[in-house]
Homo-oligomer: A and B are copies of this chain.
Amino acid sequence: MPQQLKYTRILLAVDCLIFGFESQTLKVLLIKRKLQPYQNEWSLMGGFLVGEESADEAALRILKELAGLSGVSMEQVKTFSKADRDPTERTVSIVYSSLIDIKKFEEQINHEYEAQWFKLNEIPKLIFDHTQMIAAGRDYLKKKAALQPILFGLLGEKFTIPQIQQLYEEVFESSFDKRNFSRKLLGSELLKKLDEKDKSNSKKGAFYYQLDKQINHYNFNILLNLAYNQQ
């Protein structure tokens, strides 16, 4: 008898955690669950693995099925394995996450499962351990944003320094000193100043900037400096 027979077989699920950025606010995409238990409660986009698919493949399929989203590149965040996390049957869930520009994907999202964006401080009660999943995803996002230039891509073609600062403050859950942030960011040589100004917030206005095409060659420490070195 193969030794494996004595071990419990479990269900394997994935849950998709989509962070979005819009109107200077970080949000998360939730849907209403159509299954029992907890029918009609808010949850991440989750489902079970089918056939021979890997978790990576399942995550893409489930995101498409439940929210209509495709072309989103997702990364594995963490696997949740506590025995009692799903009351129906022992289920282990692998959380995948992505951070997207909400406007870009606005038309793609379908509302069959009532997909809706929530601000991070206005998240409703979620099923199972999905609140912990969001916390793990936020932690993952901070680490990723500290090491890779993932945030600039959310701001469109051009943006002002205060807009970048707002996004950094949202992601890192901190407020940064304006002068230091601006000095460090401009010192990074990541950005190209444009002639145009955004005058929507003040008479004086704020210059627009563009990301320099050289971003792949930048020094990693610049991003960390922005996030963690605000003294």
Contacts and interface: CB of A to CB of B under 8 A. Distances in A.
A91 B4 CA distance: 10
B12 A81 contact: yes
Contact of A79 (B53, B94, B219): B94
B79 A54 contact: no
A11 B7 contact: yes
Contacts of A4: 11, 48, 88-89
Number of copies: 2
Contacts of A146: 147, 220, 224
A35 B3 contact: yes
A215 interface: no
Interface in A24-49: 35, 48-49
Contacts of A11: 4, 7, 9-10
Q: What is the size category of the interface that chain A forms with chain B?
A: 35 or more
Contacts of A225: 221
Contacts of A229: 219-221
Nearest to A56: B81
Given A54-B83, A76-B78, A146-B220, 12 more contacts: A2-B88, A7-B11, A10-B11, A10-B12, A53-B83, A55-B79, A55-B81, A219-B228, A219-B231, A220-B227, A221-B221, A221-B228
